[in-house]
Amino acid sequence: MKLNNPFGLSLLCATSGMTVAGPLSGSSRAVAAPGGRMNIVYIMCDDHSFQTISAYGHPLSRLAPTPNIDRLARRGIRFDRAYVENSLSTPSRACLMTGLYSHQNGQTMLTNRMDTTVTFIPQLMQQAGYQTAMIGKWHMLCEPRGFDTYSILSGQGEYYNPRFKSEATGGRYVREEGYATDLITRKALDFLRQRDRNRPFLLYVHHKAPHRPWLPPLEYLDLYEDVEFPMPATFYDDYTSRGPAAAEQRMRIDEHMAMIYDLKLYGYEGSGHECDVSQLWRAALQTMTPEERAQWLENYERKNAPFMQQQENMTHDEVVRWKYQRYIKDYLRVIRRVDDSVGQLLDYLEAEGLMDSTMIVYTSDQGFYMGEHGWFDKRFMYEESFRTPLIISYPGCRGGSESDVMVQNLDFGPTFLDIARKEQPADMYGRSLMPVLRKNGRRPRGWRKQLYYHFYDHTAEHNVMRHDGLSDRRYKLIHFYDERGERPAYDEFYDLKQDPHELHNLADDPRYSRKIARFRKELQRTRESIGVREY
């Protein structure tokens, strides 16, 4: 069935694949892509916030810069309005792999199963003559499809000496020695070195980092130890004016972050969080070698000592501030290694003369809260988790450009197909980013004006109510609903220009009633035209 496209997009193939005629700049060793079609290196982290990439200029990242991701931004375009359609790992990955919304591919939640009959983008890319590789976190319940070669982590993946499965291991996960980010980088470089040079390639590099519980590499355990990171202005949000979802979540740093599992306070005996009680923290350290674990424990015991000695005299707020610093430091230590990895990949591509024939994408499977509203984790349609970092460099683009065009993870599939000069299937609502890239990030005529979002996984950890919504460049309507009928449905409405931190819900403000009515109608029209049935 051909569905109406609510965003006024052409659903037929926009065969505008970028032709790479040859060297465009720089390197003396520039190598043209085989067949004149660009290679693609797609780097995706797990839970990397835009707040912790210095190219985005947030106060946190100024104290912990990411020079290599910034180096990519200097060569490419930084997207400031890049969003996901469902802010959770598995659904985001299913969207990337299929080019379809969650309700279309069936992967609405973390652990349900997607529709196995759906075609994967890499399968289409193979048909178009690309060699395809998938390295790192896969995190879907189905087997990888459409890859010439793959090496994937088991489930959420492990930081230390993780298990990987590849064609070579006969379907078994086999433990490998090293730190996840380093191993993934090495495997990606191995693929590049061993690739068939007569075909263009599509390489997915999917890091486990910086997913919870934020285990840094040993070399970086003391990085930033003396730095005091600023807390966000909304840290002490009390959720007044918002509906019950914002208050009832279980992702607050002060209440739900586990002292041992998340914050590494080994030996802490205060009242535990469920993660501490479940001994999950032991499992997190289990894959280290005895030497690594000894070094790890020695390091944290040393850093924990002042807190352990003073905690009885500390106020609740002092403890919360301590927690915040520990959380942010470990997260940023993990990120620092990701930044090293980006540097190694860029070094290789530059040295091999591949920059002139390769698109490089850096992004995350969703955004993440660095204490905004008092939270860690993601899921909500509020900006920090709805948004995701996105930097793209491609041959010939004007480096250092910034874009405020609204793009979504639904667009990656169509972009890759466009580059491969392969027709975009009619049920993909995303849009090739090539017209935006060719304009160095400026808005092409007829580009979408609004984005649809839908989060389903209410029953899972962190207790975020189901919701869907519509956002344009200025306003956002969020509809919270509960399929179990425990809570009445309700809406929130934000003016992002007046209230960028989304602290003032305007749903009941009579001054906005006409605008809200228009948004509600538009949301309903969107659901119907893309075939959403639950809301």
Collapsing DSSP states into helix, strand and coil, what is residue 241?
coil
Cβ at position 84, least distance to ligand SGN in Å: 11
Cβ at position 130, least distance to ligand SGN in Å: 27
For 60-92, give one letter per residue: b (16+ CB within 10 A) or e. bbebbbbebbbbbbebbbbbbbbbbbbbbbbbb
Angle at 247 between CA 245 and CA 249, to 5 degrees: 65
Is position 32 an interface residue for ligand SGN (rule: CB under 6 A)?
Answer: no
Q: Which C-beta is closer to Ca ion: that of 49 or that of 450?
A: 49
Q: How far is CA 482 from CA 147, 375, 465, in A?
A: 38, 22, 7
- Per-residue contact flags (x/-) with Ca ion for residues 505 to 534, judged by CB under 5 A: ------------------------------
Say what the alpha-carbon torsion angle 175, 176, 177, 178 is, to the nearest 10 degrees: -110
The string of DSSP codes covering 322-390 is HHHHHHHHHHHHHHHHHHHHHHHHHHHHHHTT-GGGEEEEEEESS---SSGGGB-S--SSSHHHHB--E
Q: 66, 68, 87, 89: which one contacts Ca ion (CB under 5 A)? A: 89
The interface region with Ca ion, picked from 25-33, 51-59, 85-93, 181-189 by CB under 5 A, is 85-93
Is position 365 an interface residue for Ca ion (rule: CB under 5 A)?
Answer: yes
Is position 85 an interface residue for ligand SGN (rule: CB under 6 A)?
Answer: no
Q: Which C-beta is closer to ligand SGN: that of 366 or that of 403?
A: 366
Q: Which C-beta is closer to ligand SGN: that of 47 or that of 70?
A: 47
CA 318, distance to chain mean position in Å, is 31
Contacts with 277 (C-beta within 8 Å, 6 or more apart), sequence order: none
From first CA to last CA, the distance across the chain in angstroms is 22
Contact of residue 275 among ligand SGN, Ca ion, none (CB under 5-8 Å per partner type): ligand SGN
Contact of residue 478 among Ca ion, ligand SGN, none (CB under 5-8 Å per partner type): none
Contact of residue 87 among ligand SGN, Ca ion, none (CB under 5-8 Å per partner type): none
Paired tokens of 502: 């989304």
186, amino acid identity: R
The interface region with ligand SGN, picked from 28-36, 211-219, 297-305, 442-450 by CB under 6 A, is 211-219
Cβ at position 274, least distance to ligand SGN in Å: 9
Q: Which C-beta is closer to Ca ion: that of 45 or that of 192?
A: 45
Is position 377 an interface residue for ligand SGN (rule: CB under 6 A)?
Answer: yes
Overall size of the chain counted in residues = 535
Angle at 174 between CA 173 and CA 180, to 5 degrees: 95
How far apart, in whole angstroms, are the C-alpha atoms of residue 407 and residue 121? 18
Cβ at position 382, least distance to ligand SGN in Å: 15
Strand partners, 362: 43, 391
Is position 70 an interface residue for Ca ion (rule: CB under 5 A)?
Answer: no
How far apart, in whole angstroms, are the C-alpha atoms of residue 236 and residue 251? 14
How far apart, in whole angstroms, are the C-alpha atoms of residue 304 and residue 404? 43
Is position 46 an interface residue for Ca ion (rule: CB under 5 A)?
Answer: yes
Q: 37, 75, 187, 212: which one contacts ligand SGN (CB under 6 A)? A: 212
Contact of residue 213 among ligand SGN, Ca ion, none (CB under 5-8 Å per partner type): ligand SGN
Paired tokens of 280: 């999950």
Contact of residue 176 among Ca ion, ligand SGN, none (CB under 5-8 Å per partner type): none
Nearest residue relative to Ca ion (C-beta): 89
The interface region with ligand SGN, picked from 50-58, 210-218, 295-303, 463-471 by CB under 6 A, is 210-218
Is position 45 an interface residue for ligand SGN (rule: CB under 6 A)?
Answer: no
Q: 34, 76, 136, 213: which one contacts ligand SGN (CB under 6 A)? A: 213
Q: Which C-beta is closer to Ca ion: that of 33 or that of 135?
A: 135
Q: 33, 152, 275, 451: which one contacts ligand SGN (CB under 6 A)? A: 275
> How many CB atoms within 10 Å of residue 254?
16
Is position 89 an interface residue for ligand SGN (rule: CB under 6 A)?
Answer: yes
Contacts with 15 (C-beta within 8 Å, 6 or more apart), sequence order: 418, 421, 423
Q: 46, 70, 411, 418: which one contacts ligand SGN (CB under 6 A)? A: 46
Is position 280 an interface residue for ligand SGN (rule: CB under 6 A)?
Answer: yes
Cβ at position 93, least distance to ligand SGN in Å: 9
529 burial type by CB count under 10 A (0-12 exposed, 13-18 middle, 19+ buried): middle
Binding to ligand SGN in span 120-179, by CB under 6 A: 156
Binding to ligand SGN in span 101-120, by CB under 6 A: 110
Is position 69 an interface residue for ligand SGN (rule: CB under 6 A)?
Answer: no
How far apart, in whole angstroms, are the C-alpha atoms of residue 409 and residue 101? 9
- 340-344 long-range contacts, CB within 8 A, separation 24+: 340/68, 340/181, 340/185, 341/68, 341/181, 341/182, 341/184, 341/185, 341/205, 341/207, 342/43, 342/66, 342/68, 342/69, 342/71, 342/72, 343/67, 343/68, 343/71, 344/185, 344/189
- Per-residue contact flags (x/-) with ligand SGN for residues 445 to 474, judged by CB under 6 A: ----------------xx------------
- Where on the chain is the footprint of ligand SGN (CB under 6 A)? 46-47, 88-89, 110, 156, 211-213, 275, 280, 377, 461-462
- Where on the chain is the footprint of Ca ion (CB under 5 A)? 46-47, 89, 365
